[in-house]
Structure 1
Amino acid sequence: MGYVTSLFARRMVAAAGNSIDGAALLQGVGIDPDAPLDPKVMIPAATYYDMLERLAAQIDVTDLPIRTGASMKLDEYGALGLAFKAATTLGASYARVERYARLWTSVVRYELRADPRGTLFILHRPGERRLGMRLSNEATLASALSIARQVSPVPVKPLEVLVRHPAPKSIIAHEDWFGCPVRFGMDLDAVRFSTTALAQPNILGDVGISRYLVSHLDKELSEIADDAPLVSETKGAIAQALSEGAPKMADIARGLGLSTRSFHRRLSEHGMSFQTLTEETRRELAEGLLRDEGHSLAEIAFLTGFAEQSSFTRAFKRWVGMTPASYRRDRSRS
């Protein structure tokens, strides 16, 4: 399963305003709304899309991705944001995103591709074009321009924006933000820039600082690759422990041969939190057990670590937007 940084979820909820219960939405995807913003804290991409679809059921989200993308700040991206600033040109900044985006997402790959009309900054995200993904893609394209405008000494205006999915009911906000044609129903999700725009020197471009930051990012990237098995091992240990109630981090760490401090640090370096992994494991286990008619709802509640069926029902509805019984009925009809 792929992951995205919790930063995106927080910004989407903030852009939605006070007409929604933002704290409840964030808690529903395993994010503590009162915790400091940390781009290294990840959530499952599918969970993020679910949250966006629940949000869309409450408010008009036509221009929400644009408002979200416009609100993104480079300072919130950690070392990658600093490296984007320190690159000598805008093209070099986007090359940093192409290389290091794995630090904030495992479901998106970026590509800079030259073509006869300039250069395309392409967003590759596989999977079903469900509403949550469509909203996320639009916000990602909008944020790509937002961060460019934060480093350039002159206004940045793309030649055009290409979007794979069909257009929303209005694209006025999209074209106002990008300042160029936005074409939906295309073969790519991409922003096309002129060669001149990408050659523009950045305000804070610095070769020495850039070299240091790239070294730091390379180290972070290698740690993500090295610790990948830890996530699956942790989820397996959590699943085995759930029948005895919600597991404690210290017990899971001990079972994996780690101290609690080391376990927490390694999960954080991988962009994970123990709370997020526990919630994800519970949800995945519950969905799998609900597809098996051999387990009653009370048994599934017990196997996923809940003392009472009512607590399980509330948690499951928070995760997927429907009760366990409704979920089971829907799956039996499909």
Structure 2
Amino acid sequence: MGYVTSLFARKMVAAAGADVDAAAVLASVGLDAEGPWDPKAMLPADSYYDMLERIAAQTDVTDLPVRVGASMRLDEYGALGLAFKAATTLGSSYARVERYGRLWTSVVEYELRPDPRGTLFILHRSGERRLGLRLSNEATLASAVSIARQVSPVPVTPLELLVRHPAPKSTASHAGYFGCPIRFGAQLDAILFSRKTLAQPNILGDEGISRYLISHLDAELSEIAEEAPLVARAKDAIAQTLSEGAPRMADIARGLGLSARSFHRRLSEHGMSFQTLAEDTRRDLAEGLLRDESYSLSEIAFLTGFSEQSSFTRAFKRWVGTTPASYRKERSSR
């Protein structure tokens, strides 16, 4: 499923206020309420969504993501926040998020896309549109505008906000915060900015500082990439065993020439668990096989480790938000 920074979880709980038991809610995702706010401490995305839904069961969360997004501060994002601030224009700031956003989440990919009206800053996040994911997306969109307003010498107002999921019961706080038309039920999760807005010079833009910070971010990114060969080899090994049933960590580790303990440690150092790796492998393999019309759905279910096609269908819908048949049909029509 992937991971998100624990900073988001702590911000959500803080914004929920006295209506929730902060210590208990944070403990449910393995965080100490009295512990440090470390953006490099990561949480499984599903656990984060579970936490948000737990909060929603205790209090009204209609405007919670907007309040959380508005509260985000660049200084809390580490080197990437500083690099956003030091970029010479707002467009350059967002380009840094597009490139280095992996440093704070592995479940969202950011994209800047030209549009006839300006430029779209897009959030790509797969998965079932469950409540926790929807709240997280709204908070991410709000935080993207918040950090822009912190670096610009003039007010930043988007041309339009696009949100894939249906509107909440009230959108008054959204309209008041973003200050632009909001289209729920859209095809994308995105913010549309005018070209003039993105060309606006930042208050503290500095080329020299930017070059230094970019080199630091590249080094952090390379640290993530260093584990790619191990992860790729592990995923290959898992894929080869899926038709025989659920893979065992000890068997995969042995095939990679590692002890189970060493394998677990190397994965956990980079915010990853064997369970997540196995699940991601299953999903990636399923998506690849669905693009090949020569495999039937029952064959794909078997090759991805499911004893029944119905179990595969339920799992796939949880992963990507649609059934295998619908996914195949959509891909073949492109």
C-alpha distance in 2 between matches for 1:161 and 1:141: 8
Letter paired with 2:8: F
Instruction: Note if 1:207 corresponds to 2:224.
Output: no
C-alpha distance in 2 between matches for 1:138 and 1:88: 27
Name 2:4's counterpart in structure 1. Answer: 4
The 3 A distance-change label for structure 1 pair 253 and 96 is farther
Following superposition, the deviation at residue 32 of structure 1 comes to: 2.1
Aligned with 2:157: secondary structure?
A: coil
Spell out, residue by residue over 1:13-46, the C-alpha distance to the aligned partner (whole angstroms, 9 max, x if none).
1110111011111111112222211111111111
C-alpha distance in 1 between matches for 2:259 and 2:11: 32
Letter paired with 1:208: G
The 3 A distance-change label for structure 1 pair 92 and 239 is same
Letter paired with 1:93: S
Name 1:95's counterpart in structure 2. Answer: 95
Name 2:42's counterpart in structure 1. Answer: 42
1:40–1:271: 8 Å Cα contact kept in structure 2? no
C-alpha distance in 1 between matches for 2:103 and 2:6: 12
The one of 256, 260, 281 aligned to 2:262: 256
TM-score where L is the length of structure 2: 0.71
C-alpha distance in 1 between matches for 2:59 and 2:261: 45
Aligned with 1:78: secondary structure?
A: helix
Name 1:177's counterpart in structure 2. Answer: 177
2:3–2:271: 8 Å Cα contact kept in structure 1? no
C-alpha distance in 1 between matches for 2:159 and 2:117: 9
Letter paired with 1:157: T
Letter paired with 1:23: A
Instruction: Note if 1:18 corresponds to 2:18.
Output: yes
1:109–1:123: 8 Å Cα contact kept in structure 2? yes
The 3 A distance-change label for structure 1 pair 217 and 267 is farther
C-alpha distance in 1 between matches for 2:100 and 2:18: 34
Name 2:293's counterpart in structure 1. Answer: none
C-alpha distance in 2 between matches for 1:20 and 1:200: 41
The 3 A distance-change label for structure 1 pair 27 and 204 is same
Name 2:193's counterpart in structure 1. Answer: 193
C-alpha distance in 2 between matches for 1:183 and 1:168: 12
The 3 A distance-change label for structure 1 pair 102 and 152 is same
C-alpha distance in 2 between matches for 1:86 and 1:256: 39
2:249–2:260: 8 Å Cα contact kept in structure 1? no
C-alpha distance in 2 between matches for 1:27 and 1:232: 34
Letter paired with 1:56: A
C-alpha distance in 2 between matches for 1:150 and 1:85: 8
- Number of equivalences: 257
Letter paired with 2:206: D
Following superposition, the deviation at residue 257 of structure 1 comes to: 9.1
1:231–1:267: 8 Å Cα contact kept in structure 2? no
Following superposition, the deviation at residue 62 of structure 1 comes to: 0.4
Identity %: 71
Name 2:325's counterpart in structure 1. Answer: none
Aligned with 1:212: secondary structure?
A: helix
C-alpha distance in 2 between matches for 1:33 and 1:253: 34
Of 91-100 and 18-27, deviating more is: 18-27
RMSD: 2.7
The 3 A distance-change label for structure 1 pair 168 and 255 is closer
Letter paired with 1:121: F
C-alpha distance in 2 between matches for 1:254 and 1:116: 53
TM-score where L is the length of structure 1: 0.71
The 3 A distance-change label for structure 1 pair 111 and 189 is same
Following superposition, the deviation at residue 254 of structure 1 comes to: 10
- Where do 1:1-334 residues align within 5 Å? 1-228=1-228, 229=230, 255-256=261-262, 270-271=270-271
Name 2:310's counterpart in structure 1. Answer: none
Letter paired with 2:82: L
5+ residue gaps, structure 2, are: 235-247, 251-257, 280-334
Spell out, residue by residue over 1:120-175, the C-alpha distance to the aligned partner (whole angstroms, 9 max, x if none).
00010011101100000000000000000111111101011000000000000001
Letter paired with 2:169: K
Letter paired with 1:16: A
Letter paired with 1:212: Y
Following superposition, the deviation at residue 227 of structure 1 comes to: 2.6
Letter paired with 2:60: D
5+ residue gaps, structure 1, are: 241-251, 285-334
The 3 A distance-change label for structure 1 pair 11 and 203 is same
